[in-house]
Amino acid sequence: MNLEIKNVSKTLPEYRQIIDLVKNSFPKEEQYPIWLLKLWALKKNVHFWAFYQNDEFCGISYLVSHEEMTFILYLAVNNQVQSKGYGSAILETLKEKFSGKNITLNNERLDPSADNYEQRVKRLKFYKKNGFYDKDYTITDRGETFLTLTTSPSFSVEVFKKVLRELTLGFDLLKI
């Protein structure tokens, strides 16, 4: 599946749909304000991307890329095309685009008491199916604990911290 990547901006006809996807795909407490995401995306190595297949909007990613690592903060698939392989296609596109770099992302910790426990299990299974390893590192963001998953068996916490500081303009907003 060959996906086209476009920078997210207000000029995209699907802009409202993209913003709604971000807001509806993640719990409110896990969302950064859109204005802050746009501010961070002004940096040359931070990308807020929309993915298309034959001009049909498929999903989004929000990531920061460093010399050694690319960190995906958000990945979401358009509800209208879910379960059709687009999530895997987006990840494959990112792996190709950032070939040679360790792709890292976070998944909510598997807490059986969480309201969305089944969704967390599904997500983790999806990422593992797509070549991600659970690195036994956790990150805490605004009180929520996340598992760290990577495409490489090797993982540098120091590089990860550097990437996160780069994303957040030098602030330590996330705790490892």
According to DSSP, residue 31 is labeled: P
Asked whether residue 57 is domain-assigned, the answer is yes
User: Is 22 domain-assigned?
Assistant: yes
Say if 173 falls within a structural domain. no
CATH number of 119's domain: 3.40.630.30
How many other CB atoms are found less than 10 A from the CB of residue 159? 16
What domain range is 122 assigned to? 4-167
158: three-class secondary structure by DSSP: helix
Give the orientation angle of helix 86-97 with respect to helix 117-129, to 10 degrees.
50
pLDDT at 171 over 60: no
Tell me which of 35 and 162 has the higher pLDDT: 35
Report the C-alpha gap between 64 and 43 in whole angstroms.
9
First to last CA, the chain: 35
Q: Tell me how many domains the chain contains.
A: 1
pLDDT of residue 170: 52
Contact between residue 130 and residue 91 where contact means Cβ atoms under 8 Å apart: yes
pLDDT digits (tens, 9 = 90+) for 106-159: 888 888 988 888 988 999 999 999 999 988 887 777 777 888 899 998 888 888
Spatial distance between the Cα atoms of 3 and 153, rounded to a whole number of angstroms: 27
pTM listed for this prediction = 0.89
70 domain-assigned: yes
| Predicted pLDDT at 175 | 52
In a domain, 82, yes or no: yes
Neighbours of 111 (CB within 10 A): 12
Q: Is 27 among the domain residues?
A: yes
CB-CB contact of 102 with 69 (8 Å): yes
Q: Answer yes or no: is 175 within a domain.
A: no
For residue 93, tell me if it sits in a domain: yes
Instruction: State whether residue 19 is helix, strand or coil.
Output: helix
Q: Residue 149 — left, alpha, or beta (φ > 0 → left; ψ -120 to 50 → alpha)?
A: beta
Token digits of residue 124: 């983790």
